[in-house]
Chains A and B, each alone.
Chain A
Amino acid sequence: MTIQQPVLDLSPKVSDEVRKTTCYMCACRCGINVHMKNGKVAYIEGNKDHPVNRGVLCAKGSAGIMQHNAPSRLRAPMKRVGERGEGKFEEISWDEAYDIAASWLKPIRETDPSKLAFFTGRDQSQSFTSWWAQAFGTPNYAAHGGFCSVNMAAGGIYTMGGAFWEFGQPDWDRTKLFILFGVAEDHDSNPIKMGLGKIKKNGAKVVGVNPVRSGYNAVADDWFGITPGTDGLLILSLVHCLLKAGKIDLEYLRDFTDAPVLIDADPKSPTHGLALLDDDGHKLVWDRTEKRARCYDAEDVDPDLTGVWEVDGIRHRTVFQHLAEKYLDGQYAPEAVAGATGIPAGRIRALAAEIARVAFDEAIELPIEWTDFRGRKHTNMVGRPVSMHSMRGISAHANGFQTCRALHMLQILIGSVETPGGFRFKPPYPKPATGHPKPHCKVTPGAPLDGPHLGFTHGPDDLCLKDDGSPARIDKAYTWDNPMSSHGMMHMVISNAHAGDPYKIDTLFLYMANMAWNSSMNTSGTMQMLSDKDENGDYVIPHIIYSDAYSSEMVAYADLILPDTTYLERHDCISLLDRPICEAEAAADAIRWPVVEPDRDVKGFQSALIELGAKLGLPGFVTDDGSQKFKDYADYMVSHERRPGVGPLMGWRGNGDETGRGAPNPAQLDRYIENGGFAIAQIPENAQFYKPWNAAYQEWAVEIGLFDKASPYLFTLWCEPLRRFQLAAEGHGERQPPEHLRARIKATMDPLPIWWDATADHGGADGEYTVNALTQRPMAMYHSWGTQNAWLRQIHGRNPMYLPTEIWEKHGFDEGAWARISSPHGEITVPVAHMPALNHNTIWTWNAIGKRKGAWALKDNAPEAKEGFLLNHLIHELLPPKQDGMRWSNSDPITGQAAWFDLKVKVEKVAPPADLTSKPNTGRQVSPVGQGPDKLAWEVE
């Protein structure tokens, strides 16, 4: 039949109103347009004006409506009425909740504030939560960086004053070769995808170095399916090749790095390995023209990279000379590393040659004049268009800190940091380790801590040790075990608190961290520790307070629940004081604001902390008359000043026309809302590259309040803090490490990047565990949050263990098969699937898909709670016992970064279980919010 086309309404009304706020479906912090219909959220799309996402939005963000309306949302404060882990609660009022919390917290604040351990997970308000913890007086505060990517952050900051993601980004528009090391699909989600799109459009090359060819590696022009944990070795081999060929940027090394700095090279000297300083503490370089040691920043200094000089009878050599000797060694030749890395020598050489070709044959020159910190004028900006990125993939190994340093050394050697086409910092970076605070841990009953908890150590004197040398912090951060644990070690808190080592605590207070599930190693053990009782029948960890918006696994293990809002119901500031949304070309920050009011008795956690802080009378949270100082978090965002004139938000300060610095402006949030939820301040054109040394940038940064005086610095290929700890291990200085750690500190804390096989401790006594096992997070899911999302769980509801062809064929697996995967610590029985594009000796699965029965308002037939599983059961927070009986934490010995990816396992084929349910069985929890509906057909009328 021929048809009469129906008449369509081609211009239906889209919404009544668009409210612009900031996404929180992951840590990317994109701008979103929330379309409202009849006061309800009808549709969410990206904000085209927003500096982070320019209108695009990922699967999570676009499915935000299902998160906002998830049936797993908590409804009111609750107190536990069953046993820990059961999930039996009674809803209570906020007043009762605060009374309970205060009845636990007030006495310990007055006697010993360190009895509180306050740790936050995917917290985007760390400058606020840490300030609360500091006012309380406990040294036991950190966010989740220790089990996430502290190696990347600290490795970058100690080496060049910034790292990837929030700290910096590739110069997407100009780069011609982009090398991506390890899994990075989760940070920084949309900007990397947008960047990859630009690179492809520009005809530039993408190289992926990753055991798994999925996600970004699927579109990589060249894939290097490396053996997990050997990235550092591959990078040092690239360095070897480039040095040997002289493909390094000598001018850049001479002018902007510590390559010419003179280092004490006399093994007998007490300052062996430390830089030669002038009387004012400035590093000295050898001047080629004047033939004498001079301060590095003199205007007419002509630094040399080579040679040996004696000063006061002590031989000094340049950093560059140390470096050249180390990496020209044959142990880093491609042929020598091919076996361990799983990359043929020829391909390593090909990659090195491609880096050399692009960096030097395709160099970029921008005709922009600029002046450096020595006062020298430059007529152009030269760039080496090779850029790199990395996140957890190389971080989450025990050798991760040194690997991250190696990666930055590679970037620096070719002159591709803060130059056109390379890697660029984002404000408030560049900011070297010396520009950050040191850690503080001095506890005084009834009083605040003596300073910020987290910071950067520069030697043994900065460790957080008590007078008797025992750890001051419950997580043992900043001790000889992990001297440079800049983000704390959240993954050790529960196990240490349970063991009463280094001391017992009274209250564990957690925010937004699913520690009873996917955020802990040794999940079954952690659940046990949280619910263990002592001989008197009391819980070993006496009190647990938890704040979450959703009915997660952790909820069931808490005594008191402070229900948080969804991301569309809350105030937040994405602040320059902690983790802003800046771009390489601009400073930027953002807010969230309640585009809808909660329809439940819930409160933004930060507002709850403000009320609890006032109830406890914490300094800063009460006025002189003892009344509550801030009405709520929104009030704090506007009126708090961290330094005079500098507050959480930079935009529209003073009378509304000041940026960065200025008095609090009561109308500030209105201005943010009018502007789409963010503020942005462009960096002047002549200040956009060479930022650590660019006088114009330094001036601009002071002007908008990033710091108070110009602070140029040299990149530090030679990491002196590492060397100071090593010196102590060699017997120098007052503060000495315990004997059992001496050898390890000497071996691992090399001031130049090194590599060792961090998986060697994981093979078991008989070496039977030989296969690498990893997880990665899908781009369409964020930790455990995604599973309650009715749309996203249809995309990623299952997580088989993916096996490479060799293992698949060796064991005769076929479709629908199951395997027992075991490690020295435990075993799991799980479904498997075949994946050819995978390193031949590596298996992997999606992270945090598996769920405990009863959690997240899911039904018992949910695949996540049946065949879904966690790899975490195989990973212990401690390494197997050493010969001396000591058990070291399964962490980087330098930073304490959780070494998730050092796991080694054995794979055995087993018959599918009769109930087709994975093992171990972790029991079930009662859902305090019931279960989701049987059907859904989402439409807002």
Chain B
Amino acid sequence: MTALPATTDKKLGLVIDLDTCVGCHACVTACKGWNTQNYGVPLSDQDPYGMPSGTFLNRIHSFQSQPEPVNDIPQLARTTHFPRSCLHCEDAPCVTVCPTGASYKRAEDGIVLVNEDACMGCGLCAWACPYGARELDQQAGVMKKCTLCVDRIYNDNLPEEDREPACVRTCPAGARHFGDLGDPESDVSKLVAERGGVDLMPEQGTKPVNQYLPPRPRDTLQAPEMTGEEDVLAPFLAPVAEEPKGLLAWVDRALEKI
């Protein structure tokens, strides 16, 4: 119902490093703090001091997984912290479903935004988004979503180094990166190439711009690797002595050489 631009000049987006995200929620409240004060209506909270429920443009989900055994060796369970916000998809179903044209994708940078003046709060876009990245503000009745801090990234009133989304600026672990994913020479594109960044749920056909960097292999310091002679670490524990007397004699010889 609402058309997407045929192409965009840039593909601005986030690269989120799942190897590094410690799940601290800094990005969540930095986002809320900036965006309740800036673009569009404030982000409301219902019953904030009772059973609270509020509007957030960015949330962290922490989940547990139990990998299958590898070569019959049981693997340790894992925890992953997964930040979730709008992925600014190239084929954004939330835009095409919008009956009023309120949801749109900017031709110049690809940012998906909601024109709140035109939004009637029907919620179709939230249904269409496979990522659950849109939230209808209960007080204002308009759809809220990540703006990629469009009012920061070009803002002449901010020092140049601060012209990045609030979530990226605040992330203590440096797990969030911002840039033009349409430019293969950009830092974020290189990072994605180097670390094997992936689309979230590619089967949905939304062509998300945001990319996720997968966790590195975990738990490699494992017992089975320590048993064979082929193990690379074993030589580091080759004994110089079994008993204190032997150790002291070894120390004596070693000190002589220093």
A contacts, CB < 8 Å to B = 1-3, 5-6, 8-14, 42-46, 48, 53, 55-63, 65, 71, 185, 189-190, 193-194, 196-198, 200-201, 207, 213-223, 225, 241, 243-247, 250-251, 254, 288, 304-307, 320-321, 324-325, 328, 344-347, 349-354, 356-357, 360-361, 779-780, 788, 790-795, 797, 805, 835-838, 857-863, 931-940
Cβ-neighbour of A53 out of B172, B236, B248 (below 8 A): B172
Complex Cα distance A9/B251, Å? 72
B10 within 8 A of A: no
Closest to A59 in B: B25
| Residues of chain B contacted by A321 (CB below 8 angstroms) | 244, 248
Closest to A246 in B: B240
20 extra interface residue pairs, beta carbon distance < 8 Å, beyond A62-B30, A219-B215, A931-B49: A6-B115, A11-B151, A58-B170, A59-B26, A62-B33, A197-B175, A221-B220, A245-B238, A246-B240, A347-B223, A347-B226, A350-B222, A350-B225, A780-B29, A794-B52, A794-B54, A835-B64, A932-B49, A937-B43, A937-B140
Residue pair A320, B28 in contact (C-beta under 8 Å): no
Residue pair B227, A44 in contact (C-beta under 8 Å): no
B203 within 8 A of A: no
Q: Which of the 9-residue segments B76-84, B126-134, B181-189 touches chain A? A: B76-84
Closest to A356 in B: B236
Cβ-neighbour of A863 out of B19, B51, B218 (below 8 A): B51
Cβ-neighbour of B154 out of A5, A10, A792 (below 8 A): A10
Complex Cα distance A12/B175, Å? 27
Closest to B81 in A: A218
Residue pair B237, A190 in contact (C-beta under 8 Å): no
11 residue pairs of the A-B complex, CB under 8 angstroms, read A6-B118, A42-B37, A57-B170, A196-B20, A200-B20, A219-B81, A225-B76, A288-B255, A347-B221, A357-B236, A938-B36
| Residues of chain A contacted by B248 (CB below 8 angstroms) | 305-307, 321, 324
Known A-B contacts A1-B1, A859-B50; A58 and B26 likewise in contact (beta carbons under 8 Å): yes
B3 within 8 A of A: yes
Q: How far is the CB of A823 from chain B (nearest CB, A)?
A: 26
B7 within 8 A of A: no
Q: How far is the CB of A206 from chain B (nearest CB, A)?
A: 10
Q: How far is the CB of B86 from chain A (nearest CB, A)?
A: 17
| Residues of chain A contacted by B107 (CB below 8 angstroms) | 5
Q: How far is the CB of B181 from chain A (nearest CB, A)?
A: 20
Complex Cα distance A844/B234, Å? 36
Known A-B contacts A10-B150, A10-B151, A62-B30; A222 and B157 likewise in contact (beta carbons under 8 Å): no
| Residues of chain B contacted by A320 (CB below 8 angstroms) | 251
Q: How far is the CB of B195 from chain A (nearest CB, A)?
A: 10
Closest to A789 in B: B29
Cβ-neighbour of A3 out of B3, B76, B139, B252 (below 8 A): B3
Known A-B contacts A200-B20, A347-B222; A937 and B42 likewise in contact (beta carbons under 8 Å): yes
Residue pair A11, B22 in contact (C-beta under 8 Å): no
Complex Cα distance A194/B175, Å? 10
Cβ-neighbour of A862 out of B51, B240, B252 (below 8 A): B51
Closest to B31 in A: A62
Residue pair B79, A57 in contact (C-beta under 8 Å): no
Q: How far is the CB of A199 from chain B (nearest CB, A)?
A: 9
Residue pair A59, B24 in contact (C-beta under 8 Å): yes
Residue pair B45, A8 in contact (C-beta under 8 Å): no
Residue pair B48, A936 in contact (C-beta under 8 Å): yes
Closest to A46 in B: B170
| Residues of chain A contacted by B241 (CB below 8 angstroms) | 244, 246, 328
B72 within 8 A of A: no
| Residues of chain B contacted by A222 (CB below 8 angstroms) | 218-221
Residue pair B49, A56 in contact (C-beta under 8 Å): no
Complex Cα distance A48/B156, Å? 18
| Residues of chain B contacted by A934 (CB below 8 angstroms) | 46-47, 50
| Residues of chain B contacted by A13 (CB below 8 angstroms) | 157
| Residues of chain A contacted by B115 (CB below 8 angstroms) | 6
Tell which of A304, A350, A795 has the most Cβ of chain B within 10 Å: A350
Residue pair B29, A219 in contact (C-beta under 8 Å): no
Known A-B contacts A794-B54, A795-B25, A939-B42; A250 and B254 likewise in contact (beta carbons under 8 Å): yes
Residues 2-35 (chain B) with a chain A CB within 8 angstroms: 2-3, 17, 19-26, 28-30, 32-34
Closest to B167 in A: A62
Q: How far is the CB of A84 from chain B (nearest CB, A)?
A: 25
| Residues of chain B contacted by A189 (CB below 8 angstroms) | 172
Residue pair A9, B151 in contact (C-beta under 8 Å): yes
Q: How far is the CB of B200 from chain A (nearest CB, A)?
A: 19
Q: How far is the CB of A167 from chain B (nearest CB, A)?
A: 21
Q: How far is the CB of A439 from chain B (nearest CB, A)?
A: 37
Q: How far is the CB of A587 from chain B (nearest CB, A)?
A: 23
Residue pair A353, B234 in contact (C-beta under 8 Å): yes
Complex Cα distance A837/B156, Å? 47
Known A-B contacts A12-B38, A193-B24, A836-B64; A937 and B139 likewise in contact (beta carbons under 8 Å): yes
Q: How far is the CB of B138 from chain A (nearest CB, A)?
A: 9
Residue pair A254, B255 in contact (C-beta under 8 Å): yes
B41 within 8 A of A: yes
| Residues of chain A contacted by B212 (CB below 8 angstroms) | none
Q: How far is the CB of A57 from chain B (nearest CB, A)?
A: 5
Complex Cα distance A246/B227, Å? 20
| Residues of chain A contacted by B251 (CB below 8 angstroms) | 246, 250, 305-306, 320, 324
Complex Cα distance A836/B74, Å? 13
Q: How far is the CB of B22 from chain A (nearest CB, A)?
A: 6
Residue pair A65, B222 in contact (C-beta under 8 Å): no
Q: Which 8 A-B residue pairs are closest in the complex by CB-CB distance? A: A346-B223, A932-B49, A193-B172, A197-B174, A246-B240, A836-B77, A859-B50, A790-B48
Residue pair A837, B78 in contact (C-beta under 8 Å): yes
Tell which of A220, A225, A795 has the most Cβ of chain B within 10 Å: A795
Q: How far is the CB of A102 from chain B (nearest CB, A)?
A: 36
| Residues of chain A contacted by B170 (CB below 8 angstroms) | 45-46, 55-58, 62
Complex Cα distance A794/B135, Å? 15
Known A-B contacts A304-B255, A858-B49; A353 and B44 likewise in contact (beta carbons under 8 Å): no
Residue pair A937, B45 in contact (C-beta under 8 Å): yes
B239 within 8 A of A: yes
Residue pair A792, B29 in contact (C-beta under 8 Å): yes
Q: How far is the CB of A17 from chain B (nearest CB, A)?
A: 12
Residues 145-167 (chain B) with a chain A CB within 8 angstroms: 150-151, 154-158, 161-162, 166
Closest to A321 in B: B248
| Residues of chain B contacted by A361 (CB below 8 angstroms) | 236
| Residues of chain B contacted by A352 (CB below 8 angstroms) | 237
Q: How far is the CB of A37 from chain B (nearest CB, A)?
A: 8
| Residues of chain A contacted by B172 (CB below 8 angstroms) | 53, 56-58, 189-190, 193-194, 197
Complex Cα distance A938/B115, Å? 20
Residue pair B174, A219 in contact (C-beta under 8 Å): no
| Residues of chain A contacted by B118 (CB below 8 angstroms) | 6
Residue pair A213, B78 in contact (C-beta under 8 Å): yes
Residue pair A218, B78 in contact (C-beta under 8 Å): yes
B66 within 8 A of A: yes
B230 within 8 A of A: no
Q: How far is the CB of B146 from chain A (nearest CB, A)?
A: 15
Residue pair B43, A859 in contact (C-beta under 8 Å): no
Known A-B contacts A11-B155, A246-B247, A780-B24; A214 and B62 likewise in contact (beta carbons under 8 Å): yes
Residue pair B26, A62 in contact (C-beta under 8 Å): yes
| Residues of chain A contacted by B120 (CB below 8 angstroms) | none
Known A-B contacts A57-B170, A200-B19, A250-B251; A48 and B233 likewise in contact (beta carbons under 8 Å): no
Closest to B101 in A: A3
Q: How far is the CB of A366 from chain B (nearest CB, A)?
A: 20
Complex Cα distance A689/B32, Å? 42
| Residues of chain B contacted by A305 (CB below 8 angstroms) | 248, 251, 255
Complex Cα distance A222/B218, Å? 6
Residue pair A246, B45 in contact (C-beta under 8 Å): no
| Residues of chain A contacted by B104 (CB below 8 angstroms) | 3, 5
Q: How far is the CB of A174 from chain B (nearest CB, A)?
A: 17
Residue pair B237, A349 in contact (C-beta under 8 Å): yes
Q: How far is the CB of A560 from chain B (nearest CB, A)?
A: 27
Residue pair A246, B254 in contact (C-beta under 8 Å): yes
